[in-house]
Amino acid sequence: MDFIRQELDDLRKSNLFRQLRTMDGPQAARTVIDGKPMLLLASNSYLGLNTHPSIVAAMIKAIERYGTGAGGSRLTTGNYLVHEELETTIARFKKTEAAIVFNTGYMANLGVIAALTAAEDIVFSDEFNHASIIDGCRLTKARVVIYRHNDMDDLERLVGENQARRKFIITDGVFSMDGDVAPLDRIVQLAERHGAIVMVDDAHATGVLGGTGAGTTQHFGLKNRVHIQMGTLSKALASAGGYVAGSQDLIDYLRNKARSYIFSTALPPSDIAAAQAAIQVVKDEPGLRKALWKNVRYLHLGLSNLGFKLMPVESPILPVIIGDAGLSITVAQKLAQNGVFAPAIRPPTVPLCSSRIRVTVMATHTQDDLDEAIDAFGKVGSELGIV
């Protein structure tokens, strides 16, 4: 098929062709990538829980009890006691009436948006929302209106101008490429004025933001004023899967209407047990979040002092803006040659001319690790004339 070859050639010429890197070690501060020991600055395991002893032990214990795989969808033979226990734990963690677990955060967004919206409705979506929200909007027959990133004046205008049976405002809590936090308090106030329903994707906030790590709703003190709280179990919680937390009616509705939930084989009990144990660790070990934020501020200051262009600190995601896609690839390659893995992020993941090195920080990085990273960035930046 010649058109495929032509598309691939175009991607290569535009510096947008993607290739896999092979890991052969844990999601830890130091691991092995493509056979080489690396300092890892690219993991979404913000609290470093992938190797936490109690979480590993919980997963092993579940495998010994239940074996591998779930054997069916949740509505047939795949609903285990551990699934129900985790949903109860998530609801308590998020201070909601109930919760439901999906196989991935992507599937949660697809299932929720498609199940809740119809042709008579409007979805207002932040222009920088995650691809799973964008694709969920594509599956719905509702009209989709895009508002400028975190621009509350633009959102207020659009919500006021557009009439519909139901209005939904959907936003990331922490935006995965810029690392900034949505002004969820202002979004909720705006929604309440206009009778809109609010959904937040807390994938990158769960375990990180809020007094107990419960996410952006807790961070802003909004309690039950956010109607739909979605998140993942695969980032700070170091397992697999996604969830939605909200009212009992919402969860009952999704269990009956969300196709990505109904028609998927359930997550293995071992993954569920690991997530359950991870939430307990998040509650019991607040020092992990303190260590994470200390590391975030230290690395941000170090890279800023070198002269790199960074955004203000709002999350463990620290994008180092390079601009050109080809130059970003070169920076990432040279960092890897210096033993630091931090990948280049290019369009269409980010807007044109905003290619970057997406640095993520973990609670388990030591100061020596971060100093090594700063030294590598300084060496590469100087070599390439960036700083």
**Cis amide prior to 348 (ω within 30 degrees):** yes
- Give the helix/strand (H/E) hosting 289: helix 287-306
Which residue of the set 176, 234, 260, 270 is catalytic? Answer: 176
Distance of CA 63 to the CA centre of its chain: 27
Cβ–Cβ < 8 Å for 205, 174: yes
Catalytic residue among 52, 204, 227, 365: 204
Query: How large is the greatest C-alpha to C-alpha distance in the chain, in angstroms?
Result: 60
> What are φ and ψ of residue 140, in 5° steps?
-90, 155
Q: Is residue 133 within 8 Å of residue 170, measured between CB atoms?
A: yes
Whether residue 379 lies in the annotated active site:
no
Cα–Cα distance measured from residue 72 to residue 46, given in angstroms and rounded to the nearest whole number: 31
Catalytic residue of the set 52, 167, 219, 235:
235
Q: Would you call 204 a catalytic residue per the annotation?
A: yes
Amino acid code (one letter) for 117: T
For tokens 């405002």, name the residue.
Answer: 169
> Is 227 among the catalytic positions?
no
Pairing of strands 122-126, 98-102: unpaired
Residues recognised as catalytic: 176, 204, 235
